[in-house]
A and B are shown apart, each in its own frame.
Chain A
Amino acid sequence: MRKLKSIALAGLIVATLPAAAHSAGTVRIFTFEGYADEEWVGPFEASTGCQVNVTYTGSVDELFAKMIASKGADYDLISIDTSLFPQYIDKGLIVPFDAQNIPNLKNLLPEFADVAEVMAGESRFGIPIAWGSIGLIYDKAVFPEPPTSWNALWDPATASKAIVLDDANNNIVNTATLLGFEDPYNLSLEQFEQVKQKLIEQKRSILSYYAGFEDGVNVWESSGASLMFSMGESQVISLAERGYDVGYAIPQEGAIGWLDTWALSTGAQDVECAHQWVDYVLAGDVGPMMTTAHGYGNTTQSNDGLDYADRLNWLRPVESLEMRAQVWSEVKASQ
Chain B
Amino acid sequence: MSGRFSGATLAKSALAVAILGVLIVLPLAVFLAHSFYRMEDREIVRAFSFANYAELASNPAYRSVFVQTLWLALQVTFINTVVGWIVARAMWRRRQRLHFALILAVAVPLLLSYVIKIYAVRMFLGVNGLLNSTLTSLGIIDEPLGFLLFNMAAVRITLCVVLLPYSILPIFLTLERVPSRLVQAAEDLGASATQVFWTVLFPLALPGTAMATTLTFVFAAGDFLIPELVGGPNGFTLGRLIFTQFGLAYNWPFGAALAVLLVVVTLTAVVLGQRLAQPRWQRQNA
A interface vs B, CB < 8 Å? 59, 61-62, 64-66, 68-69, 87, 91, 164, 166, 168, 203-204, 206-209, 219, 221-224, 321-322, 325-326, 328-330, 332-335
Contacts and interface: CB of A to CB of B under 8 A. Distances in A.
Nearest to B248: A61
A322 B245 contact: no
A64 B246 CA distance: 11
28 contacts: A59-B248, A64-B250, A65-B246, A91-B42, A166-B248, A168-B248, A207-B146, A207-B150, A208-B232, A208-B233, A222-B122, A222-B127, A222-B128, A222-B149, A223-B146, A223-B232, A224-B126, A224-B127, A224-B144, A224-B146, A321-B42, A325-B250, A325-B251, A329-B245, A330-B61, A332-B236, A332-B240, A334-B61
B250 A65 contact: yes
Interface in B206-255: 232-234, 236, 240-241, 244-252
A57 to B, nearest CB: 10
Given A222-B123, A223-B146, A328 B249 contact: yes
Contacts of B32: none
B248 A62 contact: yes
A322 B236 CA distance: 21
A236 B77 CA distance: 42
A69 B125 CA distance: 36
Contacts of A64: 250
B39 A322 contact: yes
Given A65-B246, A68-B42, A208-B232, 7 more contacts: A66-B247, A87-B42, A222-B122, A222-B123, A325-B250, A326-B249, A333-B62
A235 B255 CA distance: 32
B165 to A, nearest CB: 25
B268 to A, nearest CB: 23
A322 B241 CA distance: 16
Contacts of A168: 248-249
B260 to A, nearest CB: 17
A65 to B, nearest CB: 4
B261 to A, nearest CB: 14
By Cβ-Cβ distance, the 5 closest A-B pairs, closest first, are A222-B126, A224-B127, A208-B232, A325-B249, A65-B250
B245 A222 contact: no
Nearest to A160: B146
B122 A335 contact: no
Contacts of B62: 333
A222 B127 CA distance: 5
Contacts of A62: 247-248
Contact of A223 (B126, B246, B250, B252): B126
B274 interface: no
B285 interface: no
Contacts of B249: 61, 65, 168, 325-326, 328-329
Given A61-B249, A208-B150, A329 B241 contact: yes
Contacts of A321: 42
A325 B248 contact: yes
A311 B5 CA distance: 80
A238 to B, nearest CB: 16
Residue with the greatest number of chain A CB neighbours at <10 A, chosen from B39, B61, B146, B250: B250
B2 interface: no
B142 interface: no
Contacts of A207: 146, 150, 232-233
A206 B252 CA distance: 29
A164 B42 CA distance: 26
A329 B249 CA distance: 7
A228 B274 CA distance: 49
Residue with the greatest number of chain A CB neighbours at <10 A, chosen from B41, B233, B240, B247: B233
A333 B42 contact: no
B250 A335 contact: no
B128 A221 contact: yes
Interface in B50-89: 59, 61-62, 64-65
B132 to A, nearest CB: 9
Given A207-B232, A222-B126, A335-B234, A326 B251 contact: yes
B142 to A, nearest CB: 14
Contact of B234 (A91, A203, A221): A203
Residue with the greatest number of chain A CB neighbours at <10 A, chosen from B59, B129, B144, B247: B247
A82 B61 CA distance: 33
B232 A335 contact: no
A328 B8 CA distance: 56
